[in-house]
Amino acid sequence: VYLATGLTRGAAAPEHTEDLRLCKMPLEAVFAEVEAGRITDSMTVAATYKLMMLRAQGGP
């Protein structure tokens, strides 16, 4: 899991086993969705909490 910035949209090429759903939303909204329990994917939740912690410490 990583934080990517400055990206542009391109054509998707998922593998046949992937089920991807894209949803563009402000980062603060992601934080709120995780806190409310509406985002429950463990990797997403862990990455979100890590980013929240880094931001609280003056990071990205």
Q: In this predicted structure, what is the pLDDT of residue 19?
A: 83
Task: Write down the domain spans for the chain.
Answer: 27-56
Helices first, then strands: H and E counts in the chain: 2, 0
Q: What pLDDT is recorded for position 53?
A: 93
- What DSSP assignment string belongs to 16-54? TT---------HHHHHHHHHTT----HHHHHHHHHHHHH
| pLDDT single digits (tens) 5-51 | 888 888 888 898 988 777 788 889 999 999 999 999 999 999 999 99
Per-residue model confidence as pLDDT tens digits over 42-52: 999 999 999 99
Neighbouring residues of 57: CB distance < 8 A, sequence distance ≥ 6 = none
Place of tokens 């990517």: 4
* pTM score, whole prediction: 0.67
Q: What is the pLDDT of residue 1?
A: 61
